[in-house]
């Protein structure tokens, strides 16, 4: 897993080498020499250098710390990595570097990422398939291009309408869907559809029955009584 906060997710009392090597030790994957070599390799792979292994997290910038977090996630040669908002705590100037590195690692090492993010432009850039969640439930799932061009769920439509457009003329033409209504408590969700008090298409059945997650064809799933 790669965590959101590169400050809180690295133990300040451990050296970078021990942070990266910890999972190798826990799983007893390799001997001391091989472990050292693997740590050096991983540091180089994420754009740091071998000398950094003996330093402590406070000696690094936010972007470098996130690189250490990525090296740690790669230490046990995973096939699947959960990236929990891995760039949202970084400066915008660093975000692109880290995303490009994640993409290079993905193609070189054949990784699968579950990439959790709120930045919809970034989600579009990095994802093959996108799942949209509302109040802890998946409401829509589709190939990235399909979801961005033909969103079905009213919540997805509202989210996509909020993506800023850098061209002022284009932006003025775009109609934004503004959601109203309170967000219900996720620990005590209302019966029926969880989105019903903010949905402009809500009808009586939405308060009575929770919509099932339906396959609309071509791997496009949606949970909504409109379909
Ligand atoms: S199920 Fe009803 S309330 Fe929920 S998103 Fe669909 S139309 Fe709106």
143 and 176 inside one domain: yes
Q: Output the CA 158–ligand 1 centroid distance in Å.
A: 13
Provide the token pair at 44: 């180089």
pLDDT recorded at residue 142 = 97
- What is the per-residue pLDDT across 155-197, written as a single tens digit (0 to 9) for each? 999 999 988 888 888 888 888 888 888 888 888 888 999 999 9
Specify the CATH number for the domain of residue 38.
3.40.50.300
Residue carrying structure tokens 């009586």: 204
Domain stop point among 93, 127, 161: 127
The domain total for the chain is 2
pLDDT recorded at residue 43 = 97
14 and 121 inside one domain: yes
pLDDT recorded at residue 143 = 97
**Measured between alpha carbons, how far is 44 from 40 in angstroms, rounded to an integer?**
6
79 and 164 inside one domain: no
Provide the token pair at 98: 């880290």
Domain stop point among 127, 151, 185: 127
The pLDDT mean for the chain works out to 94
Kindly report the protein residue whose alpha carbon is nearest to atom 5 of ligand 1: 224
pTM score, whole prediction: 0.87
Q: Output the CA 88–ligand 1 centroid distance in Å.
A: 30
Q: Output the CA 135–ligand 1 centroid distance in Å.
A: 14
Domain stop point among 73, 106, 127: 127
Residue 166 structural domain: 129-227
Counting Cα atoms < 13 Å in the Cβ hemisphere of 144 gives 11
* Ligand 1 binding pocket, CB closer than 6 Å: 153-154, 193, 195-196, 199, 201-202, 206, 211, 224-226
């Amino acid at each position: 897993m790669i965590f959101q906060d590169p400050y809180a997710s690295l133990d300040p009392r451990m050296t970078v080498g021990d942070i990266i090597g910890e999972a190798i030790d826990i799983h007893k994957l390799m001997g001391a020499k091989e472990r050292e070599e693997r740590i050096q390799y991983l540091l180089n792979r994420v754009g740091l250098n071998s000398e950094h292994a003996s330093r402590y997290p406070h000696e690094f910038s936010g972007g470098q710390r996130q690189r250490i977090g990525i090296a740690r996630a790669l230490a046990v040669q995973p096939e699947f990595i959960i990236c929990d908002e891995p760039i949202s705590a970084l400066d915008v100037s660093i975000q692109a570097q880290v995303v490009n590195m994640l993409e290079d690692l993905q193609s070189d090492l054949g990784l699968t990422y579950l990439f959790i993010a709120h930045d919809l432009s970034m989600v579009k850039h990095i994802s093959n398939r996108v799942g949209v969640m509302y109040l802890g439930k998946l409401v829509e799932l589709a190939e990235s291009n399909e979801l961005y061009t033909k969103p079905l769920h009213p919540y997805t439509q509202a989210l996509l309408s909020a993506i800023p457009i850098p061209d002022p003329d284009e932006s003025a033409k775009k109609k934004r869907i503004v959601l109203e209504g309170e967000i219900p408590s996720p620990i005590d969700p209302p019966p029926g559809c969880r989105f019903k008090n903010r949905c402009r298409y809500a009808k009586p059945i939405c308060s009575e029955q929770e919509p099932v997650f339906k396959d609309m064809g071509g791997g496009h799933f949606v949970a909504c009584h409109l379909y």
